[in-house]
Structure 1
Amino acid sequence: MAQPFTPSDSALVLIDHQFGTMQLIKTLPLEQVTRNTLALARAAQILHIPAVLTSSQEDQLQGAMLPELEPFLPNAFASRVRRLGVVNAWDDPAFAAAVEGLGRRNLIMAGVTTDVCLVYPAITAVERGYQVQAVMDASGSPFELSEEMARQRMRDAGVVLTATNTMIAELAHDWSRPGGMDLLELLFTKVLPPIQPAAARA
């Protein structure tokens, strides 16, 4: 990774954070993954970072996309790419067009599960010339072995592995900047009371 990610050159990509697929996560506590995913969404909202959300077969075992994402990313949630079942999201033309249409070359990616839904699109994004940071604590797998193998494949392909707090701090750069205190508050509330949209706190 040549340069740190900034809000002006980054986009958030959340893949298959759906009720059914989330139940498959065994490598991290489900609540932790959920809270980290929502924290990424809230950080994107604070910093005006564009986002693409995608789901697969919401009417099947994978289930509906987490509704808690909608208050933070209402436009991305409404226009989420609903794939018909393709595993690598990049193989869906609507997903590829949505990401490419953002015009951002730095992608912050998380997916459920890591070993199926995140590994392939993260690697493909690097192959297409994007810089990618995969947020590992907003992702997870059913098995430790498959999680580690997916991480190894991503590292070998040039994907940078990171965590939610580290990613948010990198984007903030300076807590005194506009929105910096909101981000700092986010890091505290992520492990304390439930995160709520700004409108709900007003």
Structure 2
Amino acid sequence: MVKSLLDKENCALVFVDQQAGLAFGVGSEDRQVLLNNAVALAKTAKVFGLPIVASTSATKVYSGPMMPALQRAIPDVSAIDRRNMNAWEDDAARNAIVATGRKRLLISGMLTEACVNFLALSAAEEGYEVFVVGDACGGLTPQSHELALRRMQAAGIHMTSWIQVLLELQRDWTRHDTYDGARAIVEEFAGGYGIGLAYARDMIKPG
């Protein structure tokens, strides 16, 4: 059960296997939409100062590096490469997550059925409160993606979306330290909601 709302002081973001070689196999959502959602999530984490851990797998033999658009959003984050599918079973990746000191993890990655699922279930078993950002995760098919989310949810893992993460962290638009950054992300990535915010800024003038 969620004890409180997400806060910038109590959570960390983990990207797992956000790589083109894996994106080729994604059929649960349009790949560009998934990439945009992941970039929006990364930018959100930067605006709110969340610790970010990124891990990749098989970069040299199959999957390639972390997707360039995502890397550009978090240029100071170096991905930890692994051989196995479960990042929690890789000492370097697990130690980096533990070193954030945060007990709430936001997870985004590919594939939902494997690398996301394994990391989320393993971290939850170790006492972490895990939130999977479902619209920033890609599965092989819509059905297998949904079934993977359901399995994690049945294990007590929470489902969320990138826009909910942003709004939950901001909560009050009078929080001026993050207002400009959060609003810019919404305008760029949040579709009609972002269009509405831009319209309000440009067209609605004080009396």
**Counterpart in the other structure of 2:32:** 31
- Listed one character per residue, the Cα deviations across residues 5-29 of structure 1 (whole Å, up to 9, x for unaligned) are 1111110000000011112111111
1:139 is the counterpart of 2:137: yes
What is the deviation of 1:70? Answer: 2.7
Aligned pairs for 1:11-30 within 5 A: 11-30=12-31
**Counterpart in the other structure of 1:69:** 70
Identity of aligned residues (%): 29
1:87 is the counterpart of 2:51: no
**Pick aligned residue for 2:117 from 99, 112, 119:** 119
What is the deviation of 1:185? Answer: 2.2
- Describe the SS at the equivalent of 1:87: coil
Q: Matched residues in 2 for 1:145 and 1:35: separation? A: 22
What is the deviation of 1:99? Answer: 0.2
Moved over 2 A (4+): 69-72
- Listed one character per residue, the Cα deviations across residues 90-126 of structure 1 (whole Å, up to 9, x for unaligned) are 0000011000001011111111111111011111111
Q: How many residues align?
A: 189
Instruction: Name which of structure 1's ranges 143-152 and 89-98 shifts more when overlaid on structure 2.
Output: 143-152
What is the deviation of 1:71? Answer: 3.1
Contact kept, 8 Å, 1:27 with 1:142, in 2: the verdict is yes
Bigger proportion of residues as helix: 2
- Describe the SS at the equivalent of 1:120: helix
TM-score (norm 2): 0.87
Unaligned regions of 5+ residues in structure 1, if any?
A: 193-202
1:139 partner letter: C
**Counterpart in the other structure of 1:155:** 153
**Counterpart in the other structure of 1:175:** 173
- Listed one character per residue, the Cα deviations across residues 136-179 of structure 1 (whole Å, up to 9, x for unaligned) are 11111111221122111100111101111111111112122111
Q: Matched residues in 2 for 1:35 and 1:14: separation? A: 14
1:147 partner letter: H
Contact kept, 8 Å, 1:175 with 1:181, in 2: the verdict is no
